[in-house]
Amino acid sequence: MNAIRVRGLTKAYKGHRAVAGVDLDVARGEVFAVLGPNGAGKTTSVEILEGHRDRDGGEVSVLGVDPAEGGREWRSKLGIVLQSATDAATLTVREAVRHYAGYYADPRDPEEVIDLVGLTEKAKARVGTLSGGQRRRLDVALGIIGRPELVFLDEPTTGFDPEARRQFWGLVKRLAAEGTTILLTTHYLDEAEALADRVAVLAGGRIVAEGTPRTLGGRANADATVRYLAAGGYTEIRTSEPAKTIAELARHGEPAELTVTRPSLEDVYLELIK
């Protein structure tokens, strides 16, 4: 059984269809990334899956339950990490994690979770004194303390410096290795490529492409660009057979500064949403 199954999901606000017929399947244990520009319908779709917003139409199943009817037991299986949080500012990190652990029948050990998210040295620090990256780590700690089967990560590394982002990626990979299903929304293409098993691109309230980061939008089969330095300057050749092109060039001598590239995930993404 899939962790998430969606068919024909729709939602409108004052006549505007924010979500216009989304179909989606996320397998258990999968890291699934949803990409899309602002206003594409990402947040609305995810809030419906979380049970925080009603839908107008369509069928939705999350861990085998319709989110509109999900009760306390179902919610205990979800971990939700929002874009921002300002609660618990006067508590210490340890106090906050222990407090949230009390909401669950079988929580993880708070000290283990604090260590897992890399906040051991900040365990006694007030939440309000944490940096943005440290606060996001705490948000994840609070999201996973209840041993969730499914975790929603909404733009989890916005505002992170490069080092903090890489450390956070390691945490997500560790959760995935434990079998946790993760639905990730992000604007960072390199983040989706590094973490996701599969990716969906949402634009205009619809999914316009879906696949692995390597194959999305026909990326794996796209023409390559062979670029080299010739007597008159740099020359570029678009070809579906780069090896053959290079062999032909080599007959006239070894090409200087030779490179072969295929469209990046960003190239494909921008083409899909334009």
Q: What is each CA distance from 6 to 2, 64, 148, in whole angstroms? A: 10, 11, 20
Contact 207, 23 (CB under 8 A): yes
> pLDDT at residue 184 above 80?
yes
Least confident span in 48-57, 124-133, 158-167: 158-167
Type and span of the H or E element at 247: helix 242-250
**pLDDT for position 84:** 65
Fold of 29-40+72-217: Rossmann fold (3.40.50)
Share of the chain above pLDDT 90, in %: 45
DSSP-based three-state secondary structure for 142: helix
Least confident span in 98-107, 150-159, 191-200: 150-159
Contact 47, 56 (CB under 8 A): no
**pLDDT for position 85:** 65
In the chain, DSSP finds a helix count (H) and a strand count (E) of 9, 12
Type and span of the H or E element at 163: helix 162-177
Q: Kindly state the average pLDDT of the residues 126-136.
A: 87
**pLDDT for position 86:** 62
Type and span of the H or E element at 33: strand 31-35
Share of the chain above pLDDT 70, in %: 98
76: its two tokens: 């205990």
22/270: higher pLDDT: 22
> pLDDT at residue 7 above 90?
yes
DSSP-based three-state secondary structure for 204: coil
Provide the β-strand partners of residue 107. none
89: its two tokens: 């500012």
DSSP-based three-state secondary structure for 43: helix
Q: Kindly state the average pLDDT of the residues 107-121.
A: 90
Dump pLDDT digits (tens) for 42-93.
889 999 999 999 999 999 999 999 999 989 899 999 999 876 666 778 899 9
Dump pLDDT digits (tens) for 165-174.
888 888 889 8
List strands edge to edge, sheet with 224-230: 233-239, 224-230, 256-261
**pLDDT for position 108:** 92
Q: What is each CA distance from 109 to 7, 99, 144, 199, 258, in whole angstroms? A: 37, 12, 11, 32, 54
Rounded Cα–Cα distance for residues 27 and 167 (Å): 25
Averaged pLDDT score across all residues of the chain? 88
Rounded Cα–Cα distance for residues 98 and 109 (Å): 9
pLDDT-based confidence at residue 187 (cuts at 50, 70, 90): confident
**pLDDT for position 156:** 82
Outline where DSSP puts E strands in 118-222.
150-154, 181-185, 198-203, 206-211
Dump pLDDT digits (tens) for 202-256.
998 999 989 998 888 777 677 788 888 887 788 888 887 788 888 888 888 788 8
Question: What are the sequence ranges of the domains in the chain?
Answer: 29-40+72-217, 218-273
Closest CA to 205 of 15, 5, 4, 32: 15
